[in-house]
Amino acid sequence: MKFAGLLVMPAGFFLTVAALVLFSDTERRAAFVFCGLAVVCLGLVVAVRGHMTERGARA
């Protein structure tokens, strides 16, 4: 689960880069960048949850 979260994080980064390449108008670019950042944060949350689950299983 932790590794799944860590894999999702680069996906969010590539979404922000895609926003720069694909859109030229400010609104859509900003929306996509926010979405990309949200995906990065989602990946981080999943990784943290995965770490806690691992620790709980070990204890």
Partner 1 sequence: MNTLPPMVPATGPAMSDAVFALTLALLLVCPLAPAGVALINAGLGRSRSTAQALLGNLALVAVAAVAFLFVGAAIAGTLPGAHAGAGFTFFAGGKPWNWLGAGSFLLRGLESANPTTQLQLLFEFLAVAMVVLIPWGSGADRLRLAGGCLTAAVLAGFVFPLAAHWVWNGGWLGQLGANFSLGAGFLDAGGAGTVHLLGGLSALAVVWVAGPRRGKFPKEGLSTAMPGHNAVYVLFGCLLALVGWLAWNAAGAILWLHAPLAELPQTAINTLLAASGALMTTFSVTRFRFGKPDASLCANGWMAGLVTSCACAARVSPIAALFIGGVAGVFTPLLVELLELALSVDDPSGAITVHGAAGLWGLVAVGIFSAAQGQLIAQLVGIAALLGLMLPLVYLLFTLLNRAVPFRADADGERIGMDLHELGGGAYPEFVIHRDESYR
State both tokens at 56.
Answer: 């709980």
**Least distance in angstroms from the C-beta of 12 to partner 1:** 5
Residues making contact with partner 1 (CB under 8 A): 2, 6-7, 9-13, 16-17, 20-22, 26, 29-30, 33-34, 36-37, 40, 43-44, 48, 51-52, 55, 59
Alpha carbon distance 47, 39 (integer Å): 12
Find the shortest distance in angstroms from Cβ 54 to partner 1: 9
Q: Write down the least CB distance from residue 50 to partner 1, Å.
A: 10
Helical spans, DSSP H, in the chain: 2-22, 26-58
